[in-house]
Amino acid sequence: MLNLIHARTFLTVVEVRGVRAAARQLDLAPSTVADHIRQLEEELATPLIARDRGAFGLTPQGARLLPLARALVTTAERLSILVHQPWLRVAAASNIGTYMLQQPVAAFQRETDIEVEMWIGRNIDVAERIQRGESDLAVMEWWEPRKGFVAQTWSREPLVVIVGPKHRWASLEAVNVQELVTEPLLGGEPGTGTGRLLQQQFGALADRLKTTEGFGSTEAVKRAVRAGRGASIVLEAAVTDEVASGQLVMLPLEGIELAKEIKVIVPDGLPSTAPAMKFLATCVN
């Protein structure tokens, strides 16, 4: 296994371009720095530093090692911070992270003094981040069970139809499902599970919907709806501000309760003292 001390020494030698300068920066004897490089080269069975009459340079093998050594040392430093300091890494699906999670996270930080680092992205990327151990907790619009993880329902969030204030539906109290097939439905970010939910709820009628994809985000969809380009079906939490200001009109679907179960996912077997479990206790249970 690569020695972290030797990797740090190697990076310092590269940064300051010399053994003696690295020794001064690391507060080590030059012979110790040279010994670290020698042991690293022996461990990898290849020369890393080009030794040419005092001129500094890397061998091709040393150049290939450089980014890997940086990643290794950075990961080790990050691991030390995570182990010794209260810290929670949260990955959230775009709409949840943008519209639903900011206030709970702020409240959690105030109540626990645990710093939260939040990453927001596509639902599929959130799942991959927690699978790879890059996040301690994930909050998603849908989750396919994976071994080694536990999912809990955080919220059951209604989906609503939105239209512009000048739209022909704007004065209605609700929209009939049959009416949906007559209007372009603007779709935002793919992979949110909305299409799957519509298929489950509407059955064969879902295939008749005139869905226009490619807007990329709910924000883009809302602007297109406001401009009169069609209607959309979105999380209610994503449009509360625009509805309150009169920029959008929110309508329920007549006779159908359409909602998503927002899931919080954590690795299985975490102790109750882990920041992720404290978040669950504070914000979910």
Matching CATH number, 87-154+261-283, of 3.40.50.11690, 1.20.1740.10, 3.30.9.10, 3.40.190.10:
3.40.190.10
pLDDT at 78 over 80: no
Burial 263-276 (b: 16+ CB within 10 A, else e): bbbbbeebeeebbb
**3-state SS assignment for residue 50:** coil
Residue 42: Cβ-neighbour burial (10 angstroms; 0-12, 13-18, 19+): exposed
**What is the arithmetic mean of pLDDT over 5-20?**
91
pLDDT at 72 over 90: no
**What is the arithmetic mean of pLDDT over 179-196?**
77
Domain 156-259 classification at class level = alpha beta
Give the model's pLDDT for residue 190: 61
Q: How many CB atoms lie within 10 A of CB 163?
A: 22
Q: Quick one: CA dihedral 39, 45, 49, 52, positive or negative?
A: positive
**3-state SS assignment for residue 126:** helix
Q: Among candidates 170, 165, 132, which has minimal Cα distance to 267? A: 132
Can you name the CATH fold of 4-84?
Arc Repressor Mutant, subunit A (1.10.10)
pLDDT at 194 over 80: no
Q: Which amino acid appears at position 276 of this protein?
A: A
- Alpha carbons 69 and 121: distance in angstroms, whole number: 28
pLDDT for 217-269, tens place per residue?
899 999 999 999 999 999 999 999 999 999 999 999 888 888 999 999 999 99
Assess whether the region 4-84 and the region 156-259 belong to the same CATH fold: no
pLDDT for 25-59, tens place per residue?
999 999 999 999 999 999 999 999 887 766 678 99
pLDDT at 106 over 90: yes
Query: Could you tell me if 240 and 128 are in contact, meaning their C-beta atoms sit under 8 angstroms apart?
Result: no
Q: How many CB atoms lie within 10 A of CB 202?
A: 18
Q: Among candidates 195, 223, 191, which has minimal Cα distance to 209? A: 195
Q: Quick one: CA dihedral 227, 233, 236, 237, positive or negative?
A: negative
Q: How many CB atoms lie within 10 A of CB 255?
A: 8
Give the model's pLDDT for residue 152: 93
Query: Could you tell me if 176 and 211 are in contact, meaning their C-beta atoms sit under 8 angstroms apart?
Result: no
Instruction: Give me the residue spans of the domains in the chain.
Output: 4-84, 87-154+261-283, 156-259
Distance in Å from the first CA to the final CA of the chain: 42
